[in-house]
A and B are shown apart, each in its own frame.
Chain A
Amino acid sequence: MRRALRFFRRSISKLSVTVRGLDVKDVIRFILNTNYEDLPKAIIDDAVRALVDTLGVGIAATRTDLSRIIGNHAHTMFGGQAAQIWPDGKTASPAGAALANGMTIDSVDAHDGQKLTKGHVGCGVIPSAIAMMQAENRSDSKEFLTLVAIGYEVGSRAGIALHRSACDYHTSGAWIALAVAAMGSRILGLDENQTREALGIAEYHGPRSQMMRTIDAPTMVKDGSGWGAMAGVSAAYLARDGFTGAPAISLESPELADIWQDIGTRWYIQEQYIKLYPVCRWAQPAAEAVIALQRDNDIAIKDIAAIRVESFHEAKRLTSIPTTTEQAQYSLPFSLGAALVFGTIGVDEVMEAGLNNPAVLRLARLVEMEETDAFNDAFPARRFARAHISLTDGKRVTSEVTEAQGDPEERLGHDVIRQKFLRFTEPVMGKEKARGLLSSIEALRDGGELNDMIARLSFKA
């Protein structure tokens, strides 16, 4: 507490404008004034890639109970006509649609993320951008892609800044709120001062929920993204009407200036990892390790007698033997069981119907976890695991030190992401609609109709 206060006092003593070379106004001008033409082609490509990946997960996630509950809730409590809730096209206010669609995406933990944010910026940014464009009758696809890029840049930095300065580990919702407020300020045409207030309101209202609570006891509140998105949209509308709330400490503190200094030159959207499996990223190095062991050693699952995993502390906290999909997605033992039985982890495996597979559960119960100093030291920039499997005949095999697939250092090709999209969406919306949606997203880069893409998301309307 004392350290926090000392930090706080130092950090807010001088907020006005220039700090160590960073002008807070530069960040605000980046938000308000960046044009599509200013964005490198690679960044636009990555915005499209992020949309394909995130919206594919969102469509798959419309199957969850969580999605159904939050959709009804937003429709009844965040009433409005201006924006739509997926998949059935019910209407809500833009804040309500951002809430419902953001929580829907978050309900299947397969969307992109970034290691230093220890969270997921796109999960909140993308549904919010769609909801606000729709609500404000904006259909410019170039502006939309620009907005997504800005959201990723502001959100990733806000996340890293919050982790460095706050004394607890908060969910993505806490800092996604700033990214969404930034996009909202741009869409609503706020001036620089109003934008600064909007960012401050979003920081204050964003849920600083305790990530490790829901890791230890997984429930539907998950990564806070939908709630943070809603807070960010609301902040922009409040600021437009004159509400005040600056300064956002995570943006304006001199202690954090270095994080913001390179906005517009370093692109965090290029540093996102892509997930191949719908479970917590922390479980994925271990899942890859057992998949490799099984592949290389031709192990029959019935012969497995013991599984031991070395990884980092946070991964070791993912202990559930699940009875809900939320627990399954935050369970390392269950992830390993599914990976060994199916050779991969698909959406079906983590839905309610997949939770009673006896072979998966038998293996999950065998898993023992430990943390090592070396892997703890490497976290969060590198996430490692090593697996040991013992067989009934006494044989014992050990994996390489393994990382998850899809890290930015070894980018997945776009075709892999397209295949993931189709694998996730076709069972839910059918082949034709899935391919249509994919084409409409990819067409945005070439001036495709934004409204067409948005309409396809409400595929049950």
Chain B
Amino acid sequence: MSISMRLVPRHQTSTGRQLAVLLFSLLAGFVAVGVVFAVKGVNPLFALWKILAGSFGSFYGISETITKAIPLILIGSGLTLAFRAKFWNIGAESQLLMGAICATWIGLNLGTRLPGWMVIPLMFLVGFLGGAVWGALPALFKVRFGVNEVISTLMLNYVAAEFLNLLIVGPWKGATQQGFPYTDDLPAAATLAVIPGTRIHYLTLLIALACAVILFVLVHSTTFGYELRVVGENPEAARYAGIDFFRTTVILMVISGGVAGLAGVGETAGIHHHLTYPGVISAGYGFTGIIVAWLAKLNPLASIVSALFFAGILVGGDAIQISLGLPAATVHVFNGVLLFFLIMGDTFVNKRLVVIRGRRS
């Protein structure tokens, strides 16, 4: 007698089952993170409670969670597009930075010269273009030169980060910043208003929500959305169906990179009001956005919810860093473990585990 296990495909799967698997994956993920905490000598329940209290347990916590959800909604919903076409854009981090850089240039150089009402819209437009160009490059590299997009988007992350470093210690270093590696502060016309008592720059929040809705419609009700899916699932069939691989890939990356650029505009014009180190402008939003998209099951609308969830983890992560003395890398542990459990869960959505008893033939 022997006992073996095997994964057997299911022929049907229901929405209820998908949701159950999702919730169970998250639960199992939290248990696994708890184990890591326990090994580190931190009471996992205490840490979890601190995270929850820090992110959703107070007005300040909730407002910070919403603030951090803004870039995550933009990036997450943009990435759903790319991942649907199986274009693995790992470069949202630098597409955000390029948006921030381009918008800052407008703010610093034209912010006091143009009529006040024009500055912010122009910053968002140019920020979108900055992210879009930075995103379209790897699309071009892939379609024309066969360069793997995972590597090219990642390499461009490092290049953009060093480029930003170069700007803030070199030509763009602010004369008014007492030697700190910052650009000068943006003029008033180039900064975004916030909800009083919070850091929520509501204009970017509205743009983010609108983006999620527009991308949802784009994905579900247009030919382009259909083309994305075909390109991702069956490139061979896409060719027969007359889908222009080049056009589809470049457009999807213009959008995906562009919305990440919008997030960069929000972070600089809404939060920092100047450019500084890349790690300050973006707290890893480009990478967290990957998990936001995955948790949302590549649905742009659902990425609003999953962005709030992961924004909560970022804010709660900051809280336990302070109260438990844990390093910033703790959030990476969360991200990595949860992403693992989410993709493991995907396996059980359309397969089931059966135990086979009996003699091996």
| Chain B associates with chain A | no
